[in-house]
Amino acid sequence: MIELQNRLDAEFLPAQMCSVKFKEWIASHLWFSSVP
């Protein structure tokens, strides 16, 4: 059970970080494109 939890964490953390980076990239891209 603990091994399963560790494996989920190992897969979840990188995905979470990628998601955050992607959202930041989208936000900055939209912000820059909205600046006249």
Handedness of CA 18, 19, 20, 21 (dihedral sign): positive
Q: Block means of pLDDT (10 residues each) for the chain, length 36 residues?
A: 84 90 94 83
Residue 27 confidence (pLDDT): 94
Round to the nearest angstrom and report the end-to-end CA distance of the chain: 54
Q: Which residues of 15-25 are buried (b: 16+ CB within 10 A; e: fewer)?
A: eeeeeeeeeee
Q: Is the pTM of this model over 0.75?
A: no
